[in-house]
């Protein structure tokens, strides 16, 4: 008899976020003062590749995984659109004021964590890991939501297409669906695509009927 008992997972596996620390490229957009130096030096101890920028840059290289950004009153008027891009790096705000103006800026940057000034070496690693993880989870959720929305739209198209076929060809719902599926197979595409084509064609044909009151795009 083969012993099929799985090896005991008594020892914890190291989380991916921790394993990846040494592969991170980090931008530190911060004045070259004691906070800025403390920040870059601690990131280097942790083993990240660090590049420091000041004055603030208005675009960020694709290779940056994380940006530490000194959120100061003087950056209010700068173009920080890079922070909202789909593939934006994880933003961690370094703040020395906590008034609503600054907090609003931090929110606008979609920062995943805040580091208060004066910067201490202790706590930076946890902040970095947590911000990266929360950013990753957010991005995964957004991607999933997009997929689910597309799927939902597809399902609606199929329902509409079935209704069109049932009305115009006097077939049952099951038969209508089989027509759609056969078409999808023959054209090597998805049932959602075929359904959309049917609905669009039907709308187009309806236009040529006398009772037109809408225009196709």
**Residues in touch with other proteins (CB under 8 A):** 7-8, 10-14, 18-19, 21-22, 41-42, 44-47, 121-122, 125
| Of residues 50 and 71, the one with the C-beta less far from other proteins | 50
Task: For residues 51 and 59, give the distance between their C-alpha atoms in angstroms, rounded to a whole number.
Answer: 14
| Of residues 120 and 187, the one with the C-beta less far from other proteins | 120
| Of residues 14 and 77, the one with the C-beta less far from other proteins | 14
* Minimum distance of other proteins from residue 14's CB (angstroms): 6
Q: Which residues, 6+ apart, have CB-to-CB distance to 89 below 8 Å?
A: 27, 60, 64, 65, 66, 67
82-89 — which CB contacts under 8 Å span 24+ positions? 82/58, 83/108, 83/109, 83/110, 84/110, 87/62, 88/60, 89/27, 89/60, 89/64, 89/65
| Cα dist from 45 to 49, 53, 137, whole Å | 10, 19, 26
* Minimum distance of other proteins from residue 24's CB (angstroms): 11
* Minimum distance of other proteins from residue 41's CB (angstroms): 7
* Minimum distance of other proteins from residue 117's CB (angstroms): 16
Tokens coding 144: 């999933």
* Minimum distance of other proteins from residue 64's CB (angstroms): 20
* Minimum distance of other proteins from residue 89's CB (angstroms): 20
Q: What is the DSSP string of 75-139?
A: GTTS--GGGGSTTPPEEEEEES--SHHHHHHHHHTT-SEEEESSP-STTHHHHHHHHHHHHHHHH
| Of residues 24 and 194, the one with the C-beta less far from other proteins | 24
| Of residues 19 and 146, the one with the C-beta less far from other proteins | 19
| Of residues 44 and 206, the one with the C-beta less far from other proteins | 44
Q: Is 65 exposed, middle or buried (0-12, 13-18, 19+ CB in 10 A)?
A: middle
């Amino acid at each position: 008899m083969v012993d099929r008992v799985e090896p005991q997972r008594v020892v914890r596996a190291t989380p991916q976020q921790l394993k990846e620390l040494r592969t991170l490229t980090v931008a530190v957009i911060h004045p070259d003062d004691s906070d800025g130096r403390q920040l870059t030096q601690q990131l280097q101890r942790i083993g990240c590749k660090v590049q420091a920028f000041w004055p603030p840059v208005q675009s960020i290289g694709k290779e940056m995984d994380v940006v530490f950004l000194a959120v100061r009153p003087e950056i209010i008027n700068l173009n920080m659109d890079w922070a909202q891009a789909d593939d934006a790096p994880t933003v961690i705000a370094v703040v020395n004021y906590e008034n609503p103006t600054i907090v609003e800026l931090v929110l606008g940057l979609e920062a995943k964590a805040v580091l208060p000034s004066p910067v201490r070496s202790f706590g930076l690693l946890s902040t970095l890991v947590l911000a990266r993880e929360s950013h990753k989870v957010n991005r995964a959720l957004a991607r999933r939501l997009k997929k689910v929305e597309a799927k939902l739209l597809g399902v609606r198209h199929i329902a509409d297409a079935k209704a069109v076929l049932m009305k115009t060809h006097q077939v049952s719902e099951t038969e209508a669906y089989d027509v759609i599926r056969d078409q999808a197979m023959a054209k090597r595409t998805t049932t959602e695509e075929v359904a959309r084509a049917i609905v669009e064609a039907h709308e187009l044909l309806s236009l040529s009927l006398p009772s037109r009151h809408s225009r196709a795009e």
